[in-house]
Amino acid sequence: VTAASERLRALLALNDDLERVANILSWDQETVMPPDGADARAEQRATIERLAHEALVADELAALLEELRDDEAGLEPTSDEASIVRVARRDHEKARRVPAELRAELVREASRGMMAWFEARARSDFSILLPHLERQFELKRRYIDCFEPTGDPYDVLLDDYEEGMTTADVDPVFDVLKRELVPLIDAVRRAEPVDDSCLRGDFPAEQERWLAMHVLEKFGYDPASWRVDLSAHPFASAPSPTDIRITTRFEEVHLGGLFSCMHEFGHGLYERQVSPTLRRTPLATGCSSALHESQSRLWENLVGRGRPFWNHFYPRLQKAFPEQFADVELDVFYRAINKVQPSLIRVDADEVTYNLHIILRYELERELVSGRLALRDLADAFDAKMQEYLGVEPPNAATGVMQDMHWSDGSYGYFPTYSLGNVISVQLWERIRAEISDLDEHIERGDFAVLREWLGEHLHRHGRKFTPAETIERATGSPLDPAPYIRYLKRKVADTSGIAVA
């Protein structure tokens, strides 16, 4: 180890410490902070984030990366050492392209936009949000101009979440999803509706928590390195790879809290199983937003909405909520939690229709970025696509174009990663089932060790060592491919809706 590489590791460790401290500040704010702490917390977070950014763009880091160029050439490219230098260089060069003032303006306008969104949504008045979106879009254009022109300016935005992935990669995937799912949803709509009345009722929080903790413990939750807390919106956070925190909420009128625990467990496990050799480097976290989402969706949907899982856990669910489920057959419950039905709100959508919520947002973002759509026409365009793809008409802007926070804080390019995560989750699932032929039997016994270990070995331990495309190919054996996901959804619909699917 040379002095230069040691110093590099120290600077990267500083940056990692600061990023994780920012996570803790944010976790604290969402879960335990007294409300009057908000103003000071905003300043503290801004300070830590500024220092983290300064560490990332530091001239000293630039000089070290230059000095290490020759060393790097002599290293095995997939070694930790070479990968750390490679990824650090990419992060550093990308961060340096954006002037500090523009970055500060983006952060400021993001928080202003979010505040405006709360008010605009409460009043269901898109015109309150519109000027903020317009200002942010101007900044986004300047942001895009900081980078080399690519085939599509949207690629720059996408790259912030899926490094190296472009619209040319996403478009064919989403084309397949749209082509296959729109008629599938049509067919479901024409069929006899599935009875999901058992999912509505009275679900005391204590009971749901008891059940969720049991599931999490079976999944691999360990109180030595995990926590579960309550927050308004569920999330996962990793103050360190051995300190994993997930949040949920138990709303007492449905089982959403249970499924969100499984979802967040998937995010948490990814962070938990990154190789300890990558600690305090920029590689010690999940590879990308889509790969992260593939993990949450795998545990929530492929495990948590599957028959083997419920073969094991259904008796406990009945014990937790006897009045609700004592007289409900497992099969009725299974079909209820897998019911496909077009609906208004993305976050409540089923596995099939969910993707159309995403695709329409992706298409609108593309049109906004290309200039084919003006922001003032966004609300109408949103409603029109909801009608076209899902046959649903938003009654107002609050539950239509403003239902998500993402646009208000300038997170363009993020939505597609949700559906890409779904696609990847089933690519992984097919591969896992091919390699572990008795996976269902493990799950039916409530034993998830084999699944956890497979994911650790083939995906989690690498962290950000490889690009998203490389990571997908390494873990699944093939490039991004929607075919397994389509197969899975058709099988699920046939199984639960009782309709013949081509």
Crossing angle between the packed helical segments 38-57 and 80-96, to the nearest 10 degrees: 110
Q: For residues 213-232, which are near a second copy according to CB under 8 A? A: 223-227
Site string for a second copy, 86-115 (x = CB under 8 A): ------------------------------
The minimum distance between CB 63 and a second copy, in angstroms, equals: 20
CA distance to 263, 298, 351, 447, per residue, from 452 (Å): 14, 11, 23, 10
DSSP string, 358-371: HHHHHHHHHHHHHT
Binding status of residue 183 toward a second copy by CB under 8 A: no
Binding status of residue 25 toward a second copy by CB under 8 A: yes
State the sign of the Cα–Cα–Cα–Cα dihedral 78, 82, 84, 85.
Answer: negative
Binding status of residue 58 toward a second copy by CB under 8 A: no
Binding status of residue 33 toward a second copy by CB under 8 A: yes
The minimum distance between CB 10 and a second copy, in angstroms, equals: 10
**Encoded tokens for 186:** 């049509």
Binding status of residue 236 toward a second copy by CB under 8 A: no
Q: Is 441 a catalytic residue?
A: no
From 4, 7, 9, 51, residue interacting with a second copy (rule: CB under 8 A)? 51
The set of long-range contacts for 333-338, using a CB threshold of 8 Å and a minimum separation of 24, is: 333/198, 334/307, 334/310, 334/496, 335/194, 335/195, 335/196, 335/496, 335/497, 336/194, 336/195, 336/196, 336/197, 336/198, 336/199, 337/196, 337/199, 337/255, 337/305, 338/194, 338/305, 338/492, 338/495, 338/496
Binding status of residue 174 toward a second copy by CB under 8 A: no
Continuous H helices in 321-353: 322-325, 330-337
What is the size of the binding site for a second copy (CB under 8 A)? Answer: 36
Binding status of residue 68 toward a second copy by CB under 8 A: no
Binding status of residue 44 toward a second copy by CB under 8 A: yes
Q: For residues 271-290, which are near a second copy according to CB under 8 A? A: 279-280
Stretch binding a second copy (CB under 8 A), from 113-121, 166-174, 233-241, 381-389: 233-241
In Å, the largest CA–CA distance within the chain is: 70
The minimum distance between CB 460 and a second copy, in angstroms, equals: 17
Q: Which of 264, 271, 293, 300 is catalytic?
A: 264
Q: For residues 363-392, which are near a second copy according to CB under 8 A? A: none
Minimal CA–CA distance to 375: which of 131, 183, 71?
131
Binding site for a second copy (CB under 8 A): 13-14, 17-18, 20-21, 24-25, 28, 32-37, 39-41, 43-44, 47-48, 51, 223-227, 239-244, 279-280
Please list the active-site residues: 264
